[in-house]
Amino acid sequence: MAIGRDRIDGRLHDRVAIVTGGTSGIGHATAIALAREGAHVVIVARTASRIVETIAALERSTPAAGTFTGVPADVTVEEDMTAMAERTLARFGRIDVLVACAGIGRPPDADGVIARPVAKLSSGEWDAVIDTNLKGTFLSNRAVLRSMIARRRGDIINVASARGAVRGQAFAAAYCASKFGVVGLSQALAEELAAYAIRVQVLLPDVTRTQLLERSTLSSRLGPLLPVERVAAAIVTMLTLPGDTVLREAVVAPMHARLYERIRT
Amino acid sequence: MSETAHERALAGEVAVVTGAASGIGRAVCRALAAEGVAIVAADTDRDGLQNTVNDLSGLSTARRPLALTCDVRREDEVERLVERALEEFGAIDALVACAGILRPKGAPPKPLIAVSATEWDAVIDTNLRGTFLCNRAVLPNMIARRRGHLVNLSSTSGRQGRALDAPYCASKFGVIGLSEALAEEVRPYGIRVHVVLPDAVATPMWDQNGPIPAPADALPAARIADFIVYLLRLPEDTVLLNPIIAPFRTRRRVKKPATAGLVELASES
């Protein structure tokens, strides 16, 4: 089978896919891309009203046959993640795909930009970033495993970050630690679950044009940014790889950005 | 619109493929020819090249390929390859540099202390110097046209050294360094450089491995070729950095007790 160039409707026909962080940024674009490929999409995010908006966007943007639903849930809360899996199973009877996109650069209530020197990093801010990005990935992954293991199939894609998990960046210690952690978690889990034919892959996008970034002052310093649709397309590619193949730690980057340039703040 | 609408069509483009007589190189020729790409197939193995050409003749989409014997270690032969390609097709849109060896013919895996300078040179010359020479040779045409795409073949051995194959690992680390440096240099000209890191692939390279067979789950070379086609088709604004393409090893069974917890989880549901 060729990679990434079949008809756009139906490469994920009838697959049941959960997308955490599905109402914004990469998660939102991924939800749309999965819907266009014919998947049933379960949007997971904290704010119910934004889930409703996203589902409306999915229904507008696709000719596909999937069913779209949402679960208001916080990836840092164990019970929420259990409910996410249970409600998906109740509705669809299975979970074929989890794409774990939920992530933050800094706590939503923090002042200023993402940049935060470690000397001024409160443990509250540290915890907020690690909880959402790392523990949230662990909890969402773990929640779908029981059903995937029972069926001996499943695809998990965790979204890390090129700048956050290729090498650490000044003033983003918590973010980088969380994203390195996501890579470690994903690699460990991939090894554990291969015997059950559950494929775990981790994608490392370079800086994308998301609200997370646009709210900060960094965007003007970074040159051309990657549209989130490119990351979503890469996720679809990873999900539609032939069954004998995985991509490991793929970094998707804009052609013209200087990838390893230090982010100065 | 859709993601696929952003993908580039390759029909009508011209690709130079080194190492085209076997393995990944032959599979790349086939995959690109199926896309309507004109192929310039290069290798030292004349018979193998002929087999590749025969392989392409069955494809309805294929344009008549140009097959040339070329030793990528030799500057004059590589220059000549590019001249002939330009004479024949007028431009080079892509280079896929697959020419590579694991060890000199007949040499077994050996500890570094036993590696002769000649053996070292043989591997580094083909894998690293050959990639440099081929990359450099196609650049003038690409720079003049402000477009082009280079795909170099590294390996998972280009990220992690393995005992008993130090020259190979060093050469494949080198290919990544070369590719990253070049990518930054030629980006202003709209030229993309990708470097691909395959894990185990079922190719004749394993034959050099003497008593060590290819793993049962080694990927077919066509997987790597299809992935390279995917890279070439990526939208112009996107690159994948150092992607590793690997077998999904479902057959490797984790024995109890490591999976005991998971088995319990599964049986509960």
CB burial of residue A256 (10 Å; 0-12, 13-18, 19+)? middle
pLDDT tops 50 at residue B125: yes
pLDDT(B118) > 50 = yes
Position A106 scores a pLDDT of 77
Q: Which of A56-60, A241-245, B184-188, B207-211 has the lowest mean pLDDT?
A: B207-211
Q: Name residues whose C-beta falls within 8 Å of residue A150's C-beta, 6 or more positions apart in sequence.
A: B266, B267, B269
Is B241 in contact with A251 (Cβ distance < 8 A)? yes
Q: Where are the alpha helices (DSSP H) in chain A?
A: 25-36, 48-61, 78-92, 123-130, 136-151, 162-165, 173-193, 211-214, 228-239
Is there a contact between B258 and B61 (Cβ–Cβ < 8 Å)? no
The angle formed by the CA atoms of residues A1, B233 and B201, to the nearest 5 degrees, is 45
User: Quick one: average pLDDT of A196-219?
Assistant: 79
Task: Please give, rounded to a whole number of angstroms, the shortest distance from the CA of A121 to a CA of chain B.
Answer: 31
For residue A55, CA distances in Å to A32, A49, A94, B92 come to 9, 10, 20, 46
The whole-angstrom separation of Cα B157 and Cα B246 is: 12
Length of chain B: 269
Whether the CB-CB separation of A137 and A107 falls below 8 Å is answered with no
CB–CB of A245 and B219 under 8 A?
A: yes
Rg (CA), chain B: 20
Instruction: Taking each helix axis as running N to C, give the angle between helix A136-151 and helix A173-193, from 0 to 180 degrees, rounded to the nearest 10.
Output: 10
Decide: A58 and A36 in contact? Cβ < 8 Å.
no
3-class SS at B44?
coil
Nearest C-alpha of chain A: how many angstroms from B248? 5
B265/A246 Cβ within 8 A: no
A144-161 confidence digits (pLDDT tens):
999 999 999 999 999 998
pLDDT for residue B267:
45
> pLDDT tier at B251 (50, 70, 90 boundaries)?
low
What integer pLDDT is reported at residue A259 of this predicted model?
Answer: 42
The shortest CB-CB distance from B247 to any of A4, A244, A251 is to: A244
Question: Mean pLDDT throughout A1-20?
Answer: 75
Sorting pLDDT into bands at 50, 70 and 90, what band is A249? confident
B185 touches chain A (CB under 8 A): no
* 3-state percent helix, strand, coil for chain A, nearest multiple of 5: 45, 20, 35
CA atoms lying within 13 Å on the CB side of residue B58: 6
Determine the number of helices (DSSP H) and then strands (DSSP E) in chain A: 9, 8
> d(Cα B176, Cα B182) in Å, to the nearest integer?
10
Superfamily for domain range A16-252: NAD(P)-binding Rossmann-like Domain (3.40.50.720)
pLDDT at B256 over 50: no
Q: Tell if the CB–CB gap between B230 and A145 is shorter than 8 Å.
A: no
E-assigned strand segments in chain B: 14-18, 38-43, 66-69, 94-97, 148-153, 191-198, 201-202, 219-220, 238-241, 244-247
Say if B266 is an interface residue toward chain A (CB within 8 Å).
yes
ipTM of the modeled complex: 0.77
CA atoms of A241 and A238, how far apart (whole Å): 5
Task: Quick: pLDDT tens for B165-213.
Answer: 999 999 999 999 999 999 999 998 999 999 999 999 999 887 766 667 7
What local confidence, expressed as pLDDT, does residue B213 receive? 77
Three-class SS state of B169: helix
The helix/strand/coil state of A141 is helix
Domains with residue ranges and CATH for chain B: 3-268 (3.40.50.720)
- Residue B245 with chain A: CB contacts under 8 Å: 245-248
- What percentage of chain A carries pLDDT values higher than 90? 67
List B16's β-bridge partners, or say none.
B40, B95
CB A54 within 8 A of CB A28: yes
* pLDDT confidence band for A167 (50 / 70 / 90): confident
